[in-house]
Amino acid sequence: MQQPNTYRAGPDETGHFGIFGGRFVAETLMPLILAVEKAWDEARNDPAFQQEMDSQLKHYVGRPSPLYFARRLTEHFGGAKIYFKRDELNHTGAHKINNTIGQILLARRMGKTRIIAETGAGQHGVATATVCALFDLPCVVYMGTKDIERQAPNVFRMKLLGAEVVPVTSGSRSLKDAMNEALRDWVANVEETFYIIGTVAGPHPYPSMVRDFQSVIGNEVREQMIEAEGRIPDSLVACLGGGSNAMGLFHPFLDDEGVSMYGVEAAGKGLETDEHAASLTGGRPGVLHGNRTYLLQDEDGQINEAHSISAGLDYPGIGPEHSWLKEIGRVEYVSATDDEALQAFQLCSRLEGIIPALEPAHALAFVATIAGDLPKDHIMCMNMCGRGDKDIFTVADALGVKI
């Protein structure tokens, strides 16, 4: 049961956040899902596990990531004080590795000998391939052929790290189809394989497990902001594909009532078109990939293709805890279009010397719409969850530049 005075007690014992979440998987997977849940329950209460996590995060990932005051953007917008949580400075260039380190330690604890993962932008694939190299486990990454085309550098990275990248040609050839294919692999190889899911979605316990691994982001922000400003921030902003970086930033602050939170979805070519990836603002509840959550779907319950210039946001679903936070109104969910993200991408590069990934460029695009109207003593923290090196070809293409 949810305790009345906290937003942080979920999920319940059956893996639900309100009506969202659950374990909607094939019977073949159910025994393993239950085994993962049990192993995770034991691991998170084991100080030795936490100690190993902390050590890997410090020495291998490079945590804590800095909290950076974005002075020039703050002056440019002329309102709120903008801080970036610099998770793009992590090893592998995004927040994804916070989670893959945790899950691979759990996989080892469970005696699993083979790792699979899905990836959209390739950031989670790279983060998974990286920890597989570190711990000497074979790694298979499923990736839609559409994403393989637009994220060629990350495909090459994964291969350098020793992973096998399996192109997925079914459906929309992007993240949701990669996840379907990873689930098919898992069903066929369930005994030796651990599936490292990259976001706060999937069957219980994945949404809360990934959230807990990513909560290092918000926990560090709290400490760092108190050190920098003597208090916690007034607002938090993060982009949402599946929602793991946002969940990691928001969750530690959910019970701090004065903190406003904005999750920014990808509006693609516009919410009024069919080409967007805003499941919370443009979808409705349904069941896919092991959980009930908001989905982009047609009137027959067929899943629609998502669209975003950012491969990492190009997913027709969203983590179930976000669906719940939307329904209870604790977090405000908004969106930014491809064009707005492209503008923010360039603005950030020029003003701060930070080339953001297209994913957090969406978050910054939203910051741009509200920061100027907020008082100068308003402290806003945006998660810079990934760096933009992987996106330069996509952006050059969108801007009509040949490189």
Partner 1 sequence: MSAGDGPGRIERRFAELKSAGRGGLVTFLTAGDPDPETAEEIVLGLPRAGADLIELGMPFSDPMADGPSIQASSLRALKAGASLVKTLDLVKAFRATDDATPIILMGYYNPIYTYGVEKFLADAIEAGVDGLIIVDLPPEEDEELCRPALDAGLNWIRLATPTTDHARLPKVLTNTSGFVYYVSVLGITGTRSAAEGHIEAAVERLRRHTDLPIAVGFGIKTPDAAAAVAGVADAAVVGSAIVDRIAAGLDENGRAAPGLAAEVLDFVGELAAGVRSGQTG
Residues forming contacts to partner 1 in the complex (CB under 8 A) are 14, 22-32, 170-171, 176-177, 180, 183-184, 187-191, 286-290, 292, 295, 297, 299-303
Q: Which of 360, 219, 240, 235 is nearest to 294 (CA)?
A: 240
| CA 81 – CA 380 distance, rounded (Å) | 6
Q: Is 142 helix (H, G, I), strand (E, B) or coil?
A: strand
Q: Is 301 helix (H, G, I), strand (E, B) or coil?
A: coil
74 vs 293, beta carbon nearer partner 1? 293
Q: Which two structure tokens, joined as six digits, stand for 203?
A: 């069957």
CB of 294 to partner 1, least distance (A): 12
Task: Tell me if 284 sits within 8 A of 197, measured CB to CB.
Answer: no
DSSP category for residue 25 = -
111 vs 329, beta carbon nearer partner 1? 111
181 vs 352, beta carbon nearer partner 1? 181
Helix (H), strand (E) at residue 76: helix 71-77
CB of 15 to partner 1, least distance (A): 8
DSSP category for residue 65 = P
125 vs 202, beta carbon nearer partner 1? 202
16 vs 96, beta carbon nearer partner 1? 16
CB of 305 to partner 1, least distance (A): 9
CB of 189 to partner 1, least distance (A): 7
CB of 324 to partner 1, least distance (A): 17
Q: Which of 254, 195, 184, 269 is nearest to 219 (CA)?
A: 254
CB of 126 to partner 1, least distance (A): 24
53 vs 288, beta carbon nearer partner 1? 288
Handedness of CA 368, 372, 375, 376 (dihedral sign): positive
On the CB side of 61, CA atoms within 13 Å amount to 30
Q: Report in angstroms the alpha-carbon separations of 128 from 64, 103, 159, 168, 180.
A: 20, 9, 12, 18, 18
203 vs 268, beta carbon nearer partner 1? 203
CB of 113 to partner 1, least distance (A): 16
Residue 116: partners with Cβ closer than 8 Å, 6 or more residues away: 139, 140, 141, 142, 182, 185, 186, 189, 193, 194, 195, 196
CB of 142 to partner 1, least distance (A): 12
Q: Which of 218, 338, 204, 208 is nearest to 278 (CA)?
A: 338
202 vs 233, beta carbon nearer partner 1? 202
